[in-house]
Chains A and B, each alone.
Chain A
Amino acid sequence: MSERRNLGVVVGGSLAKSVEVRLEPGASAQLGQYVMSPLEGGSRLLGMVTDVALKAAEAGPTSWPPPTGDTPFAALLRDVLLDTAVYTQVEVNPYLEVPTGGGEPTRARRLPRHFAPVALADQEALAAAFAADGQALTVGTPLGMDDVQVWVPLERLFERSVGVFGKSGTGKTVTTLLLLDALVQDARDRPSRGERTVALVFDMHDDYGWRMKFQGGERQGLKQRHPAHVCMHPLEDNVANSDGRLVVGTRDIEPADLEVLQTIGQFTAQAIEVAYECRDRFGQGWIDELLADDPSPAVVRKTWREGEPPEEVNWTRVASRLGFHSGSLDNLRRGLGKFRRKEFVQSGAGQFARVLEAIVQELLGGKSVVIQFGRFGTDMTSYMLVANMLSRRIWERYRAEMEAAQGDRAKEPNRLVIVIEEAHKFVDRSVAGKSIFGDIARELRKYNVTLLVIDQRPSQIDPEVLSQIGTKFCFQLDSEADVEALVGGIAGRAGLRQVIAALESRRQALVFGHALPMPVVVRPPELAAGGRAGATLRARLEGNGARAERATPAGLFGA
């Protein structure tokens, strides 16, 4: 502990809340910084600064503060009172006990004594806390410590869902690219496809496929970095480097695919009911039938199965015959009509089944897949429809594979991470129960499928789904409600709330949850132009257990 980093002494606190540290004269601490303090028996307590408070030892000086101004008396009185009668106290959330000289850090179960010295955490303590065996990726450097990398074990990160939250322009996309790049690099390094974790990315703004727009320029996307391990399926026609355009046939759309579109006001609940009824009655071609100006003879026959149809048949009559309000049927037909006008939607069966099968094979074969929305990305309806359709079907395939494996690890499919943006639209409080993503979030462990959700409004996400997200990357957020939604249930939340509130508006995140031993404020690595991919990954050498040469994030995420 160098003198320079000495902060102050412990003056109180509790394990359940926080440790109170009185700052030494001249010392200062930032929210989110790590500090450490010796524990009896030679280990050290590691904690995070979660609040800074101005305190007064006695009421007097604050009731009669020194006069303002620069008179010798005022200046002297101020200098005298600072750090005596009034002082600065920081609150530190205790997290880990780090043994000196190596050994696994453990959860903090005791506190330093009164007056124990407190210092900024040093490299060694943080490196011990965030060391990871095996494949790990760095998510950046802790606040105020540019020489320490925070490593997160990949396996642990993706064994549960991951959330990247923050308001616009904070760095969500860059961070997600970092995570996905590490994931694909890891998959590349694994010989057997069953061990690989692959991603299915619903790429709303064309950020992850071939290139990423970045500060007026661009950076390589996943496909450019890993051509043999990433497949790209665009919705637009004539896209370079495509592995097959994704086209949706009207016959491929099921009412269940539409259900989630209620959140964005595309369909009413009644319209969805009508959809189910029409699918039942009119069969696979139900959408084409509904989109005709007038009910076809087949529709008439199927609507009036028993009894005579009226002389003049129109959609209003069909609706009332089926027992619905005609407004609901109109709502359904209008919505479907909008789809039909999108270029990636075609009448009939289209190519959907073939591309779907190709995607499933790619995923099961250990490759990651990017669905690129191109200009359709600005249309939430298209995004949600396609993401929902593919995810539902792919998840069902994974479920079937999982069940067929009957617990035999060797036969189980590889792990899949589904990446969605604007996640709250999919797992809104009102539809989470009906959304495939709600199911995935809840049953992730069972079927080897997890989510990586990117969102600006976590408070809109169904709390049950949110609680299933293991590791959270939390950038600056817009509202109290969003912060509360993320830290609501966890220990030391009051402090974390402060830390989140103090995050910078760009490229600074609080990372916490499943994959990390304790929350950490990081500055994600710089996203550099080009360079060697996967440099953020660190491998452990097989056999002797020694760590491979520490890879600095100098390649993909520049020096």
Chain B
Amino acid sequence: MSSTPRVVEAGLRTFLCAYEGYEEDPFCLGEFVVVREGAFPALGVVVDAASGPEDPSRPLQAQGAAGQTAAEVLAENQVLRLLLRTRVTVVSCGYVEGEAIRPLLPPAPPPLLGRVEAADDGEVKRVTGDGAFLALLVASPLCDDAVVAAAIRSAAGAFAGEEREFLVGTGKELARLLKAEPARLASILRGVAG
């Protein structure tokens, strides 16, 4: 299966990427992705994923015989897959400039049709290490508490063996950002601690 998703709408703060068709297993919520193209390769966090008909005016009809699974229905109707799309919304949280990764808004949006790939552990560590990436997430209207929690959890995966230190350090950064919103801090950390 899996096609490479590409940027279909590009902004500084967010960009939208789409798979060529329907993708059952897209990037996960909170996953760090990177567009390694353009002047300033951009890093971001997946904040939303949605699948549906390519043409919103032609809604998908429920179909399939009784007892068939989704996979069986799709296998029988190959053409259906081409009428569907999976889209993933990404919030920017850094960019690459030469050797450095900066946890800031990229100076320019990623190129349209740029390939969106999962960031590797090294990239994730560098963009999240000092906790500064949180400022962009917390400020984004697209990021609710669940999204921030998912992002922190996925970043912690890159810090094998030092997850706890990372979580506490990041939590402290978050505590500074949310100093006037203790309830929000608690709700995010509850999501992080799982």
Q: Which residues of A contact B (CB under 8 A)?
A: 57-58, 60-61, 63-64, 66, 71-73, 75-77, 79-81, 83-85
**A57-B179, A85-B182 known; A80 vs B174 contact (CB < 8 Å):** yes
**A436–B172 CA distance with the chains assembled, in angstroms:** 66
Among residues of A, the one whose C-beta sits closest to the C-beta of B191 is: A73
Q: Which residues of B contact A80 (CB under 8 A)?
A: 168, 171-172, 174-175, 185, 189
Contact partners of B172 in chain A: CB under 8 A: 80, 83-84
Q: Which of B30-53 contact A (CB under 8 A)?
A: none
- Interface status of B90 (Cβ within 8 A of chain A): no
Within 8 Å of chain A (Cβ to Cβ): is B84? Answer: no
Whether the pair A60, B182 counts as a contact (CB closer than 8 A) is yes
Asked if A64 and B182 sit within 8 Å, CB to CB, the answer is: yes
From A63, A71, A80, A84, name the one whose CB has the most chain B CB atoms within 10 angstroms: A80
Task: Tell me, rounded to whole Å, the shortest Cβ–Cβ distance linking A70 to chain B.
Answer: 11
Q: Is the CB of A58 within 8 A of B186?
A: no
Complex Cα–Cα for A61 and B183 (A):
9
Contacts of A61 in B (CB 8 A): 182
Q: Judging by beta carbons under 8 Å apart, are B182 and A79 in contact?
A: no
Partner of B176, one of A60, A73, A84: A84
Contacts of A64 in B (CB 8 A): 182-183, 186
Q: A73-B193, A84-B175 are in contact. Are A79 and B183 (CB under 8 A)?
A: no
Would A58 and B189 count as touching, CB distance under 8 A? no
Whether B190 contacts A73 by the Cβ 8 Å rule is: yes
Contacts of B176 in A (CB 8 A): 84
Q: Say which residue of A63, A76, A83 sits within 8 Å of B193 (CB atoms).
A: A76
Asked whether, in the complex, the Cβ of B189 is within 8 Å of the Cβ of A76, the reply is: yes
Q: Which residues of B contact A83 (CB under 8 A)?
A: 172
Contact with A along B153-173 (1 / 0, CB 8 A): 000000000000001100110
CA distance A76 to B182 in the complex (A): 14
Q: How far is the CA of A83 from the CA of B186 in the complex (A)?
A: 16
- Known A-B contacts: A58-B180, A83-B172. Give 16 more (CB < 8 A): A58-B179, A60-B180, A64-B182, A64-B186, A73-B189, A76-B167, A76-B192, A77-B171, A77-B193, A80-B174, A80-B175, A80-B185, A80-B189, A84-B176, A85-B175, A85-B179
Contact A77-B189, Cβ < 8 Å, known A83-B172, A84-B172, A85-B175: yes
Task: Let me know if B171 and A79 touch, CB within 8 A.
Answer: yes
Query: Once bound together, how far apart are the Cα atoms of A198 and B185, in whole Å?
Result: 70
Main secondary structure of the interface of A (DSSP, over half): helix
Contact residues in B for A75 (Cβ distance below 8 Å): 193
In Å, the complex CA distance between A81 and B185 comes to 10
User: B194–A72 contact, CB under 8 A?
Assistant: yes
Provide the residues of chain A in CB contact with B192, threshold 8 Å: 76
- Interface residues, chain B, CB within 8 Å of chain A? 167-168, 171-172, 174-176, 179-183, 185-186, 189-190, 192-194
Cβ contacts under 8 Å, B167 to chain A: 76
Residue on A nearest B182 in the bound complex, by CB? A60
Query: How many residue-residue contacts, CB under 8 A, span A and B?
Result: 50
Which residue from chain B places its CB closest to the CB of A73 in the assembled complex? B193
Residues of A within 8 A of B180 (CB): 58, 60
A58 to chain B, nearest CB (A): 5
Residue pair A81, B175 in contact (C-beta under 8 Å):
yes
Distance to closest chain B CB from A114 (angstroms): 18
Task: Give the residue name and chain of the A residue nearest to B190 (CB).
Answer: A73
Query: Closest Cβ of chain A: how far from B105's Cβ, in Å?
Result: 25
The residue of chain B having its C-beta at the shortest distance from the C-beta of A63 within the complex is: B182
6 contacts between A and B (CB under 8 A): A64-B186, A73-B193, A76-B193, A77-B185, A77-B189, A84-B176
Chain B residues in 8 Å Cβ range of A66: 186
Q: Chain B residues with Cβ under 8 A from A71's Cβ?
A: 193
Chain A residue nearest to B171 (CB atoms) is: A80
Max count, chain A CB within 10 A of own CB: residue among B167, B171, B182, B193: B182
- Distance A63 CA – B192 CA, assembled complex (angstroms): 22
| Alpha-carbon gap, A66 to B181, bound state (A) | 14
Q: From A74, which residue of chain B is reached at the shortest CB distance?
A: B193
Give, as a whole number of angstroms, the nearest-CB distance from A85 to chain B.
5
The CA of A72 and the CA of B164, in the complex, are separated in Å by: 10
B192 CB, nearest partner CB in chain A, Å? 7
A11 to chain B, nearest CB (A): 15
Complex CA–CA separation, A60 to B175 (angstroms)? 11
Question: In the assembly, what is the distance between CA of A72 and CA of B191, in Å?
Answer: 11
In the complex with contacts A64-B186, A71-B193, A76-B179 CB distance below 8 A:
no
By a CB distance below 8 angstroms, the chain A residues around B190 are 73
CA distance A79 to B183 in the complex (A): 16
Q: How far is the CB of A28 from chain B (nearest CB, A)?
A: 19
**Complexed CA–CA distance, A63 and B176 (Å):** 17
Instruction: Collect the chain B residues with CB atoms within 8 Å of residue A63's CB.
Output: 182
The 7 A-B residue pairs with the shortest CB-CB distance in the complex, in nearest-first order: A60-B182, A80-B171, A73-B193, A72-B193, A84-B175, A79-B168, A84-B172
Q: Considering the complex, give the chain B residue whose CB is closest to the CB of A80.
A: B171
Least Cβ–Cβ distance between B39 and chain A, in angstroms: 37
Contact among B171, B181, B183 for A76, CB-based, below 8 A: B171
Q: How far is the CA of A77 from the CA of B174 in the complex (A)?
A: 11
User: Shortest distance in angstroms between A25's beta carbon and chain B's nearest beta carbon?
Assistant: 9
CA distance A79 to B192 in the complex (A): 13
| Chain B residues within 8 Å of A60, by CB | 179-183
Q: How far is the CB of B40 from chain A (nearest CB, A)?
A: 32
Give Cα A84–Cα B182 distance, bound, in whole angstroms.
Answer: 12
Considering the chains assembled together, what is the distance between the CA atoms of A324 and B80 in angstroms?
Answer: 127
Q: Across the interface, name the chain A residue whose C-beta is closest to B184.
A: A60
Which residues on B sit within 8 Å (CB–CB) of A85? 175, 179, 182
User: How far apart are the CA atoms of A63 and B168 in the complex, in Å?
Assistant: 21
By a CB distance below 8 angstroms, the chain B residues around A77 are: 171, 185-186, 189, 193
Shortest Cβ gap from A66 to chain B (Å) = 8
A77 to B167: give the CA distance in the assembly, Å: 10
B178: min CB distance to chain A, Å: 9
What is the chain A residue whose CB lies nearest that of B170? A80
Which residues does chain A contribute within 8 Å of B175, judged by CB atoms?
80-81, 84-85
CA distance A372 to B183 in the complex (A): 72
Q: How far is the CB of B135 from chain A (nearest CB, A)?
A: 15
Report the minimum CB–CB distance from A274 to chain B (whole Å).
Answer: 77
Q: How far is the CB of B169 from chain A (nearest CB, A)?
A: 9
Residue of A nearest to B167 (CB): A76
